[in-house]
Amino acid sequence: MNPGEKNQLSRRELGVRVGQAAAVSALAGIAIPAVHAAGAEGTVQIALIGCGGRGSGAAVDAMKAKGVRQKLIAMADAFEDRMKTSFGSLSRNEEVKEKFDVSPQHKYIGFEAYKQAMDVLSPGDVAIFATPLAFRPVMFEYAIKKGLNVFMEKPLSSDGAASRRLLKLAEEASAKNLKVGVGLMSRHARPMQELQKRISDGEIGDIVMMRGYRMHGPDGTFKSRPKPANMSDLEYQVRRFHSFLWAGGGCMSDFNIHIIDHLCWMKNAWPVKAMGVGGRHYQHDEDGTPFVDQNFDSYGIEYTFADGSKFFFDGRYMKGAQPTYYSAVHGTKGCAIASRSGDCGAPSAIYKGQDPNDASSRQWQSTNSTNPYQNEWNDLMDAIVNNKPYNEVKRGVEASLVTSMGRAAAHIGQEVTFEQMLNSEHAFAPDVDKITDKSSPSPLPSDSKGMYPQPEPGKKKTEY
């Protein structure tokens, strides 16, 4: 990762910039008139942009949010089959059917459909972004121009160029008093919130090491077989965004960001550098068909913080291997389990020694287990209705950047620092703004054999 000479930002400068943005946000509630939804009878109207499983789930949570009158009135997706599946599922959902109000003329298809869906909304309404991360800056910029509040799913970026652009847009959103939520639900998990406070208050002493694991069988979109002959590179890669770095950051970004985010939150810091290893253990499917994705099958990342403490993350996606999926924090006075199972599985707990398997040494265990996915929507809607400063983009970008830093370190076989990652001039998809429905080329063309660039540590000195 070779940092460019332009637009250099240090972690300290980034903190100052974000602090200024927070100050703008705080003043916005006083100096700038409140932005209220202009829907009928004070209803907050919602548009879903990106109708996959993640987007459909977010739409349900949005419609179930407490303390607000809301309706889902528009949907958009690049592909008609995704729209059809999502529309059918949401329209039949008994929990939210009274708040589902998407007419046939408000179902939009295509790469520019996001504009049409947001055009239906009024200032103060909410746009949900659940598309691949490559399109976050483009859609966020349009939402800000329209005066819309936003909920965007993680991850937010896969390179420094997109990260810097999002940080700038976040400042613009705060200056306009817009509320922005990011789908890193661990920080809305009540057990983790209490654990983070206890750790910050010194219950386990100074943190010296943290461990995170996500190991399970391969996800269906993680390993990709060659593109069908009747499909463009662009459609293929957007549909299978987990497999391509420009579109989704690969499995490292999409799968592992939650544990990386919440452990750095426990530390109250972001690591300053990363080293990593990994490997493509399976080059072909069981029938001999080659895999064309850009992922490693396993990742081992060593993150280092400014005080020298370490965070070790291990990811593995292999059929038949032992599943392991949790996170732990070790301090000078004891240890803690942050997530017991999955990305934020309760209960969180604190132990006297360094062995979280020793139940007799447990000092505290959480009892609150409310749904963190619903909590993040309740919190966002509360900020909208009651005009509270609310912008999660900064930490969403930082979590995405740190995750990408680990991926880059493993893929190129070099140490990568936070500042190098943030300031790198490399952009996976510099012309993503130009993608339209008129046969736009993919940012990543395949070679004559239908293959795409893959990690080659030590040989390739920059991400590709």
Q: Encode pLDDT of 438-447 as tens digits.
A: 778 999 999 9
DSSP, collapsed to helix, strand or coil, labels residue 64 as helix
Q: Which CATH number do you get for residue 153? A: 3.40.50.720
Structure confidence at residue 461 (pLDDT) = 82
Structure confidence at residue 32 (pLDDT) = 45
Collect all residues with Cβ–Cβ distance below 8 Å to 284 and sequence separation of at least 6.
290, 291
Does residue 354 share a domain with residue 267? yes
Does residue 205 share a domain with residue 232? yes
Does residue 243 share a domain with residue 162? no
Asked if pLDDT for residue 450 goes beyond 60, the answer is yes
Q: Encode pLDDT of 202-212 as tens digits.
A: 999 999 999 99
How many Cβ atoms from other residues are within 10 Å of residue 414's Cβ? 18
Does residue 90 share a domain with residue 18? yes
Q: In what order do the strands lie in the sheet with 126-129?
A: 107-109, 70-77, 44-49, 126-129, 149-152, 180-182
Structure confidence at residue 218 (pLDDT) = 83
Kind and range of the H or E element at 314? Answer: strand 310-317
Does residue 285 share a domain with residue 214? yes
Does residue 1 sit within a domain? no
Does residue 309 share a domain with residue 172? no
Across all residues in the chain, what is the average pLDDT?
91
d(CA 234, CA 211) in angstroms, rounded, equals 37
Q: Encode pLDDT of 127-181 as tens digits.
A: 999 999 999 999 999 999 999 999 999 999 999 999 999 999 999 999 999 999 9
Does residue 37 share a domain with residue 164? yes
Structure confidence at residue 177 (pLDDT) = 98
Does residue 124 share a domain with residue 157? yes
Q: Which CATH number do you get for residue 330? A: 3.30.360.10
Q: Encode pLDDT of 327-360 as tens digits.
A: 999 999 999 999 999 999 999 999 999 999 999 9
Beta strands in 345-387 (DSSP E): 349-351, 362-365
Does residue 227 share a domain with residue 84? no
Q: Which domain holds residue 128?
A: 11-186+374-391
Q: What average pLDDT does range 377-404 have in this prediction?
A: 98
Asked if pLDDT for residue 23 goes beyond 80, the answer is no
d(CA 396, CA 373) in angstroms, rounded, equals 16
The tally of domains found in the chain comes to 2
Does residue 464 sit within a domain? no
Q: Encode pLDDT of 285-320 as tens digits.
A: 989 999 999 999 999 999 999 999 999 999 999 999
Does residue 255 sit within a domain? yes
Collect all residues with Cβ–Cβ distance below 8 Å to 9 and sequence separation of at least 6.
17, 164, 419, 422, 423
Q: What average pLDDT does range 428-457 have in this prediction?
A: 91
Q: What average pLDDT does range 17-28 have in this prediction?
A: 40
Least confident of 76-80, 215-219, 238-242: 215-219
Structure confidence at residue 35 (pLDDT) = 54
Does residue 240 share a domain with residue 115? no
Does residue 165 sit within a domain? yes
Structure confidence at residue 2 (pLDDT) = 35
Does residue 397 sit within a domain? no
Do the Cβ atoms of 301 and 313 come closer than 8 Å?
Answer: yes
DSSP, collapsed to helix, strand or coil, labels residue 150 as strand
H-helix segments, 147-248: 160-175, 190-200, 233-239, 245-248
Least confident of 28-32, 39-43, 172-176, 327-331: 28-32
